[in-house]
Structure 1
Amino acid sequence: MGMIDENLAKRSHENYSFSSYKRDSATSEYNQLVNEAAEQIEKAKTRVSDEGKARLDKLLERYKANMSNWINKHNSNGANHVSVMIAGPANYNMRRHEKYMQKEAKLWDEYDKIKDIGSQISRIVNADKIISSDDENAITKLKEKLKKAEDEHEKYKEYNAKARKEGKQQLNGYVLQNSNARIRSIKKRIEKLEVAAKDETKEIQVGDIKIIDNVEANRVQIVFDNKPSKEMRDTLKRFAFKWSPRNKAWQRFRSLRALMIAKDVCTSDEEKQND
């Protein structure tokens, strides 16, 4: 699973203990930590898409590498310093001991961050639930999400039907109402993206300013020949346009409103220049 330096582990143990070092114990502890993390990853995989699963696999690989690296660094720190218990108090080098303790504190701070794989898993799971419109696989992901929502809705209906037969309490009305609303919302979003997928990128010229309705990038972009005035930059920022150094354009997410604002802002600027 990882390359643990057993020689470092043995020397570190001997510098801080009178007991004999149990062979391969550092590797065993590492393997246990990795197995615990792998169990968390496998549970999380049941809640995410294929893309989310791939991200979780990469997270586990990073965890393995970071943890083995930390264990070796920690053992190296211990291997290079003999404790007062082993060395004895006479002429004990306290300055070297303080340096060891300072490094030890930093190492344990680092360990806490590496060990906290749970919060990293949660971020991946939560991010996987949010399907961005500019994701090239957005429609496929939304259809998968729709299928799950429809299956869940059917289970609610089956539960209520069984409850009626058995004289048990049915689900509260809002459960099915919310479920239906969720299904409608996903369907509308799929329809919107499918319509947008049929669009073509268009360019509009307003004087020296070019407005690009960029379908591929899912952005409305404004390109100036020269750096726009501070007043224009402030106006663009006010309407949520941001400067993209990579695209050399001011841009925001694509929508009819964004395109309308871009036209209005650029037309007003052109009219000011002509006055």
Structure 2
Amino acid sequence: MYHEKIDSLLDTYARKLAANMNKGYEIDARVPSILIAGGSNFPTRKKEKQNAARDSNYREWQDIQGLLDKIRSTGMGGISADDPQAVQKLEKKLESLEKSQETMKAVNAYYRKHKTLDGCPHLPPEELEKLKADMASSWHLEDKPFATWALSNNSAEIRRVKDRIKSLSQQKEIGFVGWEFDGGKVEANTEANRLQIFFEDKPDEATREALKSNGFRWSPKAGAWQRQLTSNAYYAADYVKAIAPLTGEKPTELQRAHIRQQKVAAQEQPAQEQPEQEAPQDKDTFSIYQIKGGDETRDLRFEPYDRLIAAGHRVDPKNYALVYSAPLRRGLPLKIFTPALISTTRKILRDTAF
């Protein structure tokens, strides 16, 4: 994918640079040298226009050089929706963000308990030293290694990445719809991630301006006017009258109808394709679990539940042993014997931590 983009940028750079250089040679030839024309016959006004044209051509050359920065940065920036591996890369990024969030919480919990970072097992020694230096600086206002804003910002980024993964996954599952219009057709090219407009003949100037003003660009390689395949592309297509669907609907209405059809089709899948659920038991029961003994759970036994959660720990059934189980009946008091995991066969007390 990136090779094609780089090749396209290189072609554009070479074409624009050649035109700019030819323009520069043409500007240089407009006014003869003063050594040839002489001082008395030298065209001063014409020379001023030549200098202005040179300045304009030089600014254009600087803009063209900016294409080199685009070429160098291709594939080095954020995760583009054009990338076929976008969802996988976002999931990897999400995993890293969540790990960082758990680490920051664990370090703060350790500092809150011990009032020092010495011996903290959640970060390597060199990072702990940097964190100590940051805490000693005048700009570090809170009495905790990782400030509240750092946790909040990271949490917001986690939500943003999750939303983007959900959006891209839905687009991939539901897809997009194309249509025909008077004089051409529109295709949703999922492979190129582009909404492409194919005209039978060259569109008039008014149509071309409408396409440009709504984000569509001409692609000589594809032979189509196109923009990135998103929901916004359909909203933009609503404003280009020349590509209105033959059905009389708006492009956005066609896409909404397509989404509804896909959702209905998903709900109508045969029941045998649905995952089998566990058959409910005849009676509601509750169970009390206690943290197991052993080195693996030694550090968890004497910590309050809220501190365990703040440190990034989660209730894991494998760390608990069943100590009591009985039928659940109305009026039955549940005593809190120890931090334990209460579970029921239905949703009444399932996955509730005491």
TM-score (norm 2): 0.39
Greater gyration radius: 2
TM-score (norm 1): 0.49
Q: Which has the larger share of helix?
A: 1
